[in-house]
Amino acid sequence: MLAFPGGSVNDRASVHYNFFENSLSDLGATMTVSGKQNTVSNILFITAFGSLGIILIYFSKIWRAMDTDIHKLSAVGYISKICLVISGLSFIGIAFSPLNKFYENHILLLKSAFCFLLAWTLLMIILQSGNLKIRKLLIFNVIYALLLGYYDYLLFYGPEIEADGSIEFYAVSQKIIFFVTMTNLAIQAAGINRFLRIADFRKSGAKNFYV
């Protein structure tokens, strides 16, 4: 954000990033709406979203760590993996689809990323529901799914971006959902890692368990 040269639909003369009027997507544009080059911010945006996509793809196999007998729900687990891989690939696509050059593709990938992330979260709730030792993680996922579901609804059925106050609404809501997403992923990773330290997967007869 500090590298963003400024400029928004409502204030083209701005010389800095406006939290309430600039979206995160603006950071990845090659040029701002005021005609300023945005090279540094664009490179950082590509790095951040590309890295997020790679992390999600790697994290997709985490379903195996939900319980010692998780193999009974392997079909749900593999579907959850596919959903998170698609979400990760969508984030990578967002990184390389500047809003000012590929607007329709950028929005389509944004919807894809968060819709498949919601699908993954719902499937994780199913996988976690049978393990009392990670019940707190289940609660966090339920709360996150409600927030993400509302955001996904806004992406498809929310007010038009041109409507009064919509720019500010979408700019802030996007930042909130990204923050909540990062927080929940960190909580899930830490909680699952803690569970793995005390779990004995040998009781389930599973061989060579790995996350």
**Digit-coded pLDDT (tens) for 98-151:** 988 898 999 999 999 999 999 999 999 999 988 888 889 999 999 999 999 999
As a whole number, the mean pLDDT across the chain is 85
Quote the CA–CA distance of 21 and 168 in Å, as a whole number.
Answer: 5
pTM: 0.85
Q: Which two tokens stand for residue 131?
A: 């393990």
pLDDT of residue 211: 45
For residue 128, count other CB atoms closer than 10 A to its CB. 26
Residue ranges of domains in the chain: 50-204
**Mean pLDDT value of segment 17-37:** 82
Quote the CA–CA distance of 66 and 73 in Å, as a whole number.
Answer: 10
Residue 180 vs residue 35, higher pLDDT: 180
**Mean pLDDT value of segment 61-65:** 83
Quote the CA–CA distance of 55 and 204 in Å, as a whole number.
Answer: 28
pLDDT of residue 170: 83
pLDDT band at 4 (very low <50, low <70, confident <90, very high): confident
Q: Is the pLDDT of residue 25 over 60?
A: yes
Residue 38 vs residue 55, higher pLDDT: 55
